[in-house]
Amino acid sequence: MDIKSQTELTFRALGALESYAWQIDTTSPKHFTVTAEISGMTTIADWQAALKKAQLRHPLINARVDTGHDGRLHFFHDLLVEIPLRVARLDKIVSVEDEIRREFSAPFGVGDIALLKAALLYSKERCVLIITAHHAIADGRSLSYFIHDVLEVLAGKELADLALLPSVEELCSPAEGPIGDIRKPAVTASPVPYTERSLSRLKILRHQLSPELSGKIRQRSKQENTTVHGALAAAFVFALYHSSGWSGRPVRLTTPIDARKYSALDFGLSFLALFPTYAYEASNPESFWDISRAITDDLNAYRTKPGMTALVDMLEPFMNDHGLPNMMRFDREICAPDILISNLGVLPFSDCFGHLTLDALWGPNVLIGTEGEQTIGVATINNTINLLHTSYQSTPDFLVNAERILMLATEYSKESFFKKPH
């Protein structure tokens, strides 16, 4: 097979969710970043070589999107794909947050071949790696595993190539499995406008919960018959509901749900998450654990495959080739979050990769793009919960206020919630 033939090899057609992410990107950019802090001696050439080897492992990094002979969008294998790498000296940057802002504020352009890019904030003994991916080829959890692959390669491991994964609709097809019972996601009373995107308005903040508080959240959540995600989500719902100027309406909360668990798939780059939105009223501070359980109960329906199949069946008409207005309606009415919490969960990564140490992981930061949206990326590693806040209309002290609420919720009984002891 000659080079030209190889570059035209078809991987597969895009699924409805992938097609949505690709087509609406020019109206509301659908990309995100995950950031890692690494200590240990490296060279820039080491990173360049590791990125290339990790790229070869994941089929969709080596792909471009184009229309096939049947008129549908397809992933095509392309040998010419190269991951763009921007290198900056770590000792010259103002802040890591500013560099994440820079990467996140630059969406993928029409005609860009590479659908993943990297920025390396470099010093000989410590680096920060920012990976940005188009949502058509990846979600937050698979991108965190791509970073894991890069670190494994740097440690000298040889990694086998991964198989091309199916779309979420193929994985959870209503035609091939039972449809579960889910609570219908909350629809807005009227369409929420898209927000103005500009670098000057974009705020990105990082905040690490202490190992002690992270442990208390895990312990108390178990006692309260809920989850860590439910507790974190409730804290942010309360923080927003009690923020200055809030109207008193229920808070719309969106949670991306990973579909890989239904089929024990690997973590090759792919977009295998759907994100229902539910609304919660949080006027009574003593209802914190009730709200946490309500959030957990709504998401429990998706613990089994029929639940996700029901969501696929419900949302597919808004995502596939049914026109841009329907895709915009999904963004502005079906989703339209006040808060989006993208929780990568407890990442089963060792902190040691040969002579390198993974000190922290941040993300993902992603936005649906509607007005007032506050996104929290959650990554738990080394028994510590890392929070990343992204917004074009940032709620002041959002991370700090949520942490305060979590401290009170885990420390005191329900009767003394939000009350300091004498």
Mean pLDDT per 10-residue section of the chain, whose length is 422 residues: 52 94 91 97 98 96 91 91 96 96 86 86 98 96 97 96 94 90 92 94 96 97 97 98 94 96 88 96 93 97 94 87 86 96 94 95 96 98 96 96 96 55 40
Task: Give the pLDDT of residue 7.
Answer: 46
Task: Give the pLDDT of residue 193.
Answer: 97
**Using CA atoms, how far apart are residues 92 and 115, in angstroms rounded to an integer?**
28
Task: Give the pLDDT of residue 110.
Answer: 63
Q: Determine the straight-line distance between the first and last CA of the chain, rounded to whole angstroms.
A: 78
**Using CA atoms, how far apart are residues 277 and 83, in angstroms rounded to an integer?**
34
Task: Give the pLDDT of residue 381.
Answer: 93
| pTM of the predicted model as reported, rounded to 2 decimal places | 0.94
Give, in order, the Cα–Cα distances in Å from 232 to each of 50, 246, 281, 345, 388. 35, 20, 16, 12, 13
Q: Decide if domain 3-168 falls under CATH 3.30.559.10.
A: yes
Give the CATH architecture of domain 178-416: 2-Layer Sandwich (3.30)
**Using CA atoms, how far apart are residues 286 and 416, in angstroms rounded to an integer?**
8
Domain boundaries, the chain: 3-168, 178-416
